[in-house]
Amino acid sequence: MTAVAAVATAMVGTAALPAAAAGQHPGRLHHAVVYISGVRHDGQSRADHSNRTLNMQWVAVTNSSRQAVNLDRWTLSDKDGHTYTFRHVRLAGRATVRVHSGVGRNTKTDLYQDRRTRAWDNNADNATLRDARGRVIDTAAWGAGHRRDGGVRHHGVDHRR
């Protein structure tokens, strides 16, 4: 697979658009091997910083291949540069992990940033997934300047160049 785009299945009331595909098969969309498959950025007031509420905010990362992918030292960041670094994480083939904002115990399906404040802005923000070399793998953006309906727009690339 060459440079590709994720047609992400958005979760919890957000929508996604396919990003433009590039490479040997013009006009043909492929899923990136690892991509942002969903975002839950809303649903909490600015005043509510309870851990339960913070953990309702998450970004889902999916591996669409059959092979496990080592996410060690990959990062997930917002438009302000707040960054979560994956540590000792292998994402199984055809699996998804949710990265929650608050404090919790990491499992195979849920990781926690251990933040005491919100990670994602309700009004406008973006989530950027980078590999261990710092290359952008996928982005998801929402809010002002993106889509009028508040949905999430994705721009994915294949990290296996």
In this prediction, residue 12 carries a pLDDT of 31
**Residue 160's pLDDT band (cuts 50, 70, 90):** very low
In this prediction, residue 138 carries a pLDDT of 97
Question: Are 152 and 124 spatial neighbours (Cβ–Cβ below 8 Å)?
Answer: no
Look at residues 108, 94, 98 and name the one whose alpha carbon lies nearest to residue 41.
98
Provide DSSP, 91-105: E-TTEEEEEESS---
In this prediction, residue 118 carries a pLDDT of 86
Distance CA 154, CA 16 (A): 7
pLDDT tens figures, 106-126? 999 999 999 998 888 888 999
Of residues 74 and 19, which shows the higher confidence score?
Answer: 74
For the question of whether the overall pTM of this predicted structure is more than 0.75, the answer is no
How high is the mean pLDDT of the chain?
76
In this prediction, residue 82 carries a pLDDT of 92
In this prediction, residue 133 carries a pLDDT of 97
CA distances from 126 to 28, 67, 110, 121, 131 (A): 26, 28, 20, 9, 17
Q: Of the segments 14-23, 48-57, 89-98, which one has the largest average pLDDT value? A: 89-98
Mean pLDDT calculated for residue range 66-91: 96
Mean pLDDT calculated for residue range 30-52: 77
pLDDT tens figures, 43-78? 555 566 789 889 999 999 999 999 999 999 999 999
